[in-house]
Amino acid sequence: MNPFATLITRGTGNALYRVLTAALLVLPLLLVTLASVPALVVLPFLPDGSRRADRIIRQLIVWTRSLAARGRA
């Protein structure tokens, strides 16, 4: 039995869980985004680099949408 069950109602507990999960998942996404900035600055100047930079940006968008959808679920 959960000792905090009487302190947090089911609806509040679910909302709190979603917020904490989203907050934990934002940190790795932020780290990956910041780590890819140098590549996004240099890649357009390399042969076929614009295409690779576009793929990186599209992947970051997919991850961000997935994180946002998980936070709302």
Burial class (CB in 10 A: 0-12, 13-18, 19+), 10: exposed
pLDDT digits (tens, 9 = 90+) for 26-66: 888 889 889 999 999 999 899 999 999 999 999 999 988 88
H/E/C letters for each residue in the chain? CCCCCCCCCHHHHHHHHHHHHHHHHHHHHHHHHHHHHHHHHHHHHCCCHHHHHHHHHHHHHHHHHHHHHHHHC
The residue extents of the domains of the chain are 27-72
**Is the pTM here over 0.85, yes or no?**
no
Which is nearest to 58 in space by CA: 35, 25, 36, 38?
36
Q: What are 2-35's pLDDT values in tens digits?
A: 555 555 555 666 777 777 877 887 888 889 889 9
